[in-house]
Every structure is written in structure tokens, then in C-alpha cells.
Structure 1
Amino acid sequence: YPSGLSKDKIPLGASIIKVADAFDAMTSDRPYRKAFSKEKAISELKKYKGIQFHPEVVEAFLRVYEKIK
């Protein structure tokens, strides 16, 4: 991580952007692969919650996603 930050030292805003960016990247076509379905992308966020992604940010993202779906 930039500046050697990890876990709870990473600013909340950066954690929010990371989850949103990851979801966008997974659900967008890339030259090297087709886009994941939204369900598959959500599964990946859940799989890496607390590992790669801030768990509270993932939960908040999922709550908002369910509301707008």
C-alpha cells in the first residue's frame, strides 16, 4: 500500500474507492477477459471482505447496491 499503510491505517475514503473501483473493474469488459456478472463480482467482494477489502465498506456497498437494484 502507498506510504506503507495497511488495515485500519488506510483512510476510509480510499477503502470506499477501492471497493467501488474493484466492482467497476470486475463488471467491465477488458481486452484480456469478458466482464464478470454483477453476481460474480459481488461474490468476489464477499470472498475477499476483510482480506483485500475493508469489511464495513463492503457491507455498506452491498446495502446500497441492494437498494438501487
Structure 2
Amino acid sequence: MQEIAASGALEIVTVTPEIEQAAWQLFERYDTVPYLSYTDCTTFAVMQQRGITTVFTGDEHFQILGFTIRP
């Protein structure tokens, strides 16, 4: 993993207090979405912070929260 990160192909993100706060806000705002996890919300918060709008996933939660998914 360190080798991949060193190549620039991967970034390891540390959850800051700001990301944690944004994740909790998303988790509370979308509390009616079945099976939406805090981990999902943390990922959404990081993506929003970085301006990422498209994700390669089969997880429909990303689409529900407004991201473009690519299966």
C-alpha cells in the first residue's frame, strides 16, 4: 500500500475533525435512507471536500446523495 501511495496513484486520507463533523451532519440529514452507514457518510464528506462528483461503485447510496456512479 505504501508503494502505491508513494507512486501518487493512491491518497490515504486522515479523517479530520472537519470531515467528521460533515460526516455526522450527512448521517443525521439522511437518517431515513436504509442501510446508510457512517462510513458511507465519511466517504461522502471527503468526496465533497475534494470536489469529487463521480465514483466507481455499485453502492446506490452515492447516487442518492447526488454523486454520479460508474459500475
The interval holding the TM-score normalised by the smaller chain is under 0.3
Q: Greater helix percent: which structure?
A: 1
State TM-score, norm by structure 2: 0.24
- Structure with the higher strand share, 1 or 2: 2
Q: TM-score, length-normalised on structure 1? A: 0.24
